Every structure is written in structure tokens, then in C-alpha cells.
Amino acid sequence: MPFSDYKTALVTGASSGIGAAVVERLCSEGLQVHALARNAKSLAALSERTGCIAHTLDVTDLAGITRLTQQVPFDVLVNNAGVDRPKSFLHADAEDIDLLVDVNLRAVLHLCRLVVPGMVARDRGHVVNISSIAGAYNFGGNSTYHATKAAVSMLSRQLRIDAFGKRVRVTEICPGRVATDIFAHVHGDSADTYERFVKGFELPQAADIANAIAFAIAAPVAVNIGHIEITPTLQVPGGLQTTRPAAAQA
């Protein structure tokens, strides 16, 4: 469906990184883009640069997102907001679990609940869910994050079943490591964080993810691009580890 068939978009987690890049790309395509995030200063700068409509709002504020979605019939919904608290599940904190479930999953469920029925009624719409390779592959220290992203992956498939027969498309974007400031948000904004996760690596940029989303949205209406996995060429997910019992090692 050409971009000209869509008028409005809502992007969460829009103040930086992938979210800001998506806002910029969708604005360049002529959509009225509503950018939602908590950082008012960054949103104001983004609005001045792109012309987007800024909403300083926590994605977990159910009353707030309900009011917004009742005011605007969104043709495109990009669920990008996400958090992580890397930690073995053996040492998981209740607060971390609640935060990840609230932001990574509950907010996505509610936004889809609030927006998708209108898309179905209008026979027009596109949902883009930013999940992660963590929804499909296991790596240590991110148990709750894996669980929430796997749920978003299944939701993305289920939405197409629930909207079957209508021109409502659903795309799941599964990034690997991307050169954004998410690592600073998760691990602390320090030289060590930059050294560990960004410096010296050949990584996709936020604009690369935004371009992939634009590609999916711009496809003909008869085409639903359901799943895009985007990783660095020099990153391979998965693997196999084997160890001896502790007694045998001793």
C-alpha cells in the first residue's frame, strides 16, 4: 500500500534511536506522525526537526494512551518502546520483571487493543512491532527480556489472524545489535559501555531499521511482509554450550 494511502502514524519510544529514526522517515513520506516518549526535551527537538506531533507520555500510562488513540484514528502503529534489565533469572528482581512486562508487553497489547479495531473498521492499517532476535534466540542474562519479546512475536502473528479478511498488515522487526544509545540506557552512559557494545563493530544504524520499516509499509496492499530479522553481518545468533557436572569438574 503506498504511503499516500496512510495519513497518520503513532510511534512509541520516539525520543531517540530507532524510534526517532522511524519518526523522521515517516514524516519524510508525508504522514502526520505522533511521537510518544517520556523525554520532553528530545521530543521537542525532534518535533522542530521533523514536524512531528510530540506527546510527552509514558507508554505505560493507560489513561494517557487511551485518550490519544481516541482522538486520532491511526493508520500506522509502530510499537518501538522497550527496556531491558540484563540479569540472570536466578537473581531477578520483582521490580525489573514488572517494568519489562509493563513496557515491552503490556503497553504493546493495550496499544494494539486500542488501535487495531479502528484499522479493521476502516479496512486499512499497518502495525509494526519492534521485537528482537531475543524473541527467537537465547543468550545469557536476559530472561525476562526474552520472554516479553517472544510474546510480542507471537502477538504479531496472532494479530493477522484476528484481522483476517481486512487490509490490516502486521510486520515484526527483529533487530540484533544496532548502533543506538540503548546500551547507555541499559548499562550506563560510560566509555566502558561504548567500548563493549559499539566501538570497532560494524553495526546497522537506526536509519537502517527505519528504512526496513518503510520498505514494509510501502509494499503493495496485496503484500504483507510479516517478519524481518536484521543483524550485523558479523553477528550470528544462537549457539550450543555443553558442560560437565560440577562434581566431575572438581
Cβ proximity of 216 and 146 under 8 Å: no
Q: In which residue are the cell numbers 510530540 written? A: 54
195: how many CB neighbours lie within 10 A of its CB? 10
Strand-pair category, 125-130 with 227-230: unpaired
- Which one is catalytic: 6, 137, 145, 194? 145
Residues paired with 98 in a beta bridge: none
Known catalytic membership, residue 6: no
Residue among 190, 171, 195, 177 nearest 234 (CA): 177
Question: Grid coordinates standing for 155?
Answer: 502477538
CA–CA dist 85, 70 (Å, integer): 32
Nine-digit cell string for 176:
540484533
Contact 202, 232 (CB under 8 A): yes
Q: What stretch of H or E contains 14?
A: none
CA distances, 142 to each of 135, 148, 208 (Å): 11, 10, 25
Beta-carbon contacts of residue 103 (< 8 Å; ≥ 6 apart): 59, 60, 81, 82, 83
Supply φ then ψ for residue 127, to 5 degrees.
Answer: -105, 130
Between vectors from CA 47 to CA 107 and to CA 228, what angle results, nearest 5°? 50
Which positions are catalytic? 145
